[in-house]
Amino acid sequence: MSEAKNKPHIAVLAGDGIGPEVMQQALRVLHKVAPEVTYSHGLIGGAAYVKYQQHFPTATKKLINQVDAVLFGSVGGPIEATDSPQWLNCEVNSILALRNHLNLSVNVRPAKFYSSLANISPLKNHLFNACDEILIYRELLGDIYFGDKRSFKVDGQVVAEDVASYNEAQIKTIALQAFESAAQRSGKLTSVDKANVLETSRLWRQVFNQVAKDYPQVELSHMLVDNCAMQLILNPAQFDVIATANLFGDILSDAASALPGSLGMMPSASFNDKGFGLYEPSGGSAPDIANQDVANPMAQLLSLAMLLRHSLNKDAAASAIEQAIEQVLASGFRTLDISESTCQTLGTTAFTDQVLKQL
Ligand code: NAD
């Protein structure tokens, strides 16, 4: 996306839980495929709180303002400790604040189906085998998450309200990116909304129809979100690129990410309108498996591949990582989350060793 430089520099924000473990593996791979890329570590989340009593300290803000892209791990503590000062509002104060700070309004999550993992997917084999990859574009800074919120009493009853709102420009930003992507892929774009009920969805649909006029090569279809949830499970192969609003995208992208087999394989990228990108696994900090060398490093390695391709124009290095991972899976190596009795289960480090061998 941004101009490639001779010596690109990225920020590495490993965060909490499995974040530092999988980030360490991503940096081993980075040294191998693109040793010219330099990086600086920054603290974020609970790890930052320990040093600064802040989840998103000024030092990290300064760092991310000076780099070509951000490689992010994950943040957050164990669910049972969410009220302790280190973890209270950690996600809101760090990753959500970071997205706001960088104005990252478009989130892209690829759900890739690896043929060697057909048996661990919740899908029946014939449905799985028909799939290749689904790309979900989710608007990230509007909708019900960012509108006014309030609680008040009416006739002694507590009422809560969250306001959902979108303007045309917000919708156009994500529409343009989704159309561009669809034009470079199959030429098929599904816009998902709830236009039979919601005013924001009716505007969403209008803007998508307007943008479609500039992309005659893209076949745009509209689908209601409830139907889309069902279709993702019944017939995911019908989708190539999906574009949707913040709330619907949050839910649909998690559902889609489970179809290929595990959240631990799912990378994501978020962009602002200048093309600046932040890359992170779709999952969280997985405190239940942290510090055990069992986390799947694929999501972090594939997030690195997306960073190399989209922010540093290093397509060959990105493809090399993707192909190496595919080869490792085809050779019968797995991590615990995708283990199969006929395959060899490896830890985080040993799985990455196999990826490095392929590179
Ligand atoms: P989670 O995504 O961390 O974990 C859900 C399940 O997926 C767990 O069983 C976990 O072990 C598994 N999992 C996730 N990544 C994996 C990997 N790479 N390899 C193997 N298994 C993996 O979600 P959660 O348990 O609901 O939340 C844990 C913490 O993460 C919370 O503090 C939450 O706030 C935070 N969180 C952070 C982000 C982020 O940093 N962007 C996103 C979601 C949740």
- Structural domains for the chain: 1-107+263-359 (3.40.718.10), 122-259 (3.40.718.10)
CB atoms < 10 A from the CB of 206, how many?
13
Secondary structure (3-state) at 278: strand
* CA proximity to 282, closest of 261, 309, 312: 261
Question: Is 194 a catalytic site residue?
Answer: yes
- Taking CA atoms only, the protein residue closest to ligand 1 atom 4 is 286
* CA proximity to 168, closest of 195, 205, 197, 223: 205
Question: Is 132 a catalytic site residue?
Answer: no
From the list 194, 240, 314, 337, the catalytic residue is 194
From the list 162, 226, 273, 288, the catalytic residue is 226
- Gap between the Cα atoms of 196 and 200, Å rounded: 11
pLDDT band at 1 (very low <50, low <70, confident <90, very high): very low
Q: Which atom of ligand 1 is nearest to the CA of 286?
A: 3
Tokens found for residue 129: 């085998």
Q: Which atom of ligand 1 is nearest to the CA of 91?
A: 34
Residue 58, C-beta contacts closer than 8 angstroms, at least 6 positions apart: none
* CA proximity to 47, closest of 83, 86, 12: 86
* CA proximity to 132, closest of 152, 120, 108, 114: 114
In the chain, DSSP finds a helix count (H) and a strand count (E) of 13, 14
Question: Is 254 a catalytic site residue?
Answer: yes
Instruction: Express as a percent the part of the chain with pLDDT over 70.
Output: 98
Question: Is 250 a catalytic site residue?
Answer: yes
From the list 39, 52, 254, 293, the catalytic residue is 254
- Gap between the Cα atoms of 11 and 29, Å rounded: 16
The answer to whether 128 and 230 have CB atoms below 8 angstroms apart is: no
Single pTM value for the model? 0.93
User: Which pLDDT belongs to residue 2?
Assistant: 45
- Taking CA atoms only, the protein residue closest to ligand 1 atom 25 is 286
pLDDT band at 183 (very low <50, low <70, confident <90, very high): very high
User: Which pLDDT belongs to residue 194?
Assistant: 98
Run of H or E residues at 333? strand 333-334
pLDDT band at 4 (very low <50, low <70, confident <90, very high): very low
CB atoms < 10 A from the CB of 251, how many?
14
- Gap between the Cα atoms of 319 and 242, Å rounded: 23
- Mean pLDDT score, 247-271: 93
Run of H or E residues at 133? strand 133-139
The answer to whether 45 and 65 have CB atoms below 8 angstroms apart is: no
pLDDT band at 6 (very low <50, low <70, confident <90, very high): low
> CB within 6 Å of ligand 1 — which residues?
18, 74-77, 91, 95, 263-264, 280, 283-289, 295-296, 299, 337
Tokens found for residue 219: 């076949």
- Taking CA atoms only, the protein residue closest to ligand 1 atom 5 is 286
Phi first, then psi: give them for residue 191, nearest 5 degrees: -95, 130
Distance in Å, CA 284 to ligand 1 centroid: 3
Tens-digit pLDDT profile for residues 220-236: 999 999 999 999 999 99
From the list 61, 145, 172, 188, the catalytic residue is 145
Mutation test residue for ligand 1: of 22, 75, 253, the one with most atoms within 8 Å of CB: 75
Q: What angle do CA 164, 168, 169 make, to 5 degrees?
A: 110
pLDDT band at 258 (very low <50, low <70, confident <90, very high): confident
